Amino acid sequence: MKIAIVFHSGYGHTAELAKAVARGAQSVAGAEVSLIALSEAETPWAELEKADALIFGSPTYMGSVSAPFKKFMDDSSKAWYARQWVDKIAGGFTNSAHSTGLIF
């Protein structure tokens, strides 16, 4: 089974989660896992199309995904419209922080 983990990490926290997800996926016999950091290069659309499972990760910024992850979502509309990801297993993860020292 080919598993692609697509993520954006602004400060490194989401990258650490992506690595943990990858370690878990790699513990399954026969799993081929690839980590795809959105900030590094062009999105490898062909690799995502060949994957059996897609796992998405983004930090939570202001109650939503990060801007680079949103761009990826918008760019994926062609694959979605062509139904390239039909019958794939999908999952996702996020992380967030909050400071109790802030007063609004």
Tell me the CA distances in angstroms from 20 to 7, 38, 50, 76, 102, one per residue in order: 12, 17, 22, 25, 30
**Which pLDDT belongs to residue 75?**
95
List the domain boundaries for the chain.
2-95
Question: pLDDT tens-digit profile of 13-24?
Answer: 999 999 999 999
Low-confidence ranges of the chain (pLDDT < 50): 100-104
**Which pLDDT belongs to residue 39?**
78
Strand partners, 5: 35, 55
Question: pLDDT tens-digit profile of 41-52?
Answer: 788 999 999 999
Pick the CATH number of 2-95 from 3.90.180.10, 3.40.50.2300, 3.40.50.360, 3.40.50.720: 3.40.50.360
**Which pLDDT belongs to residue 98?**
60
Helix or strand (DSSP H, E) at 34: strand 32-37
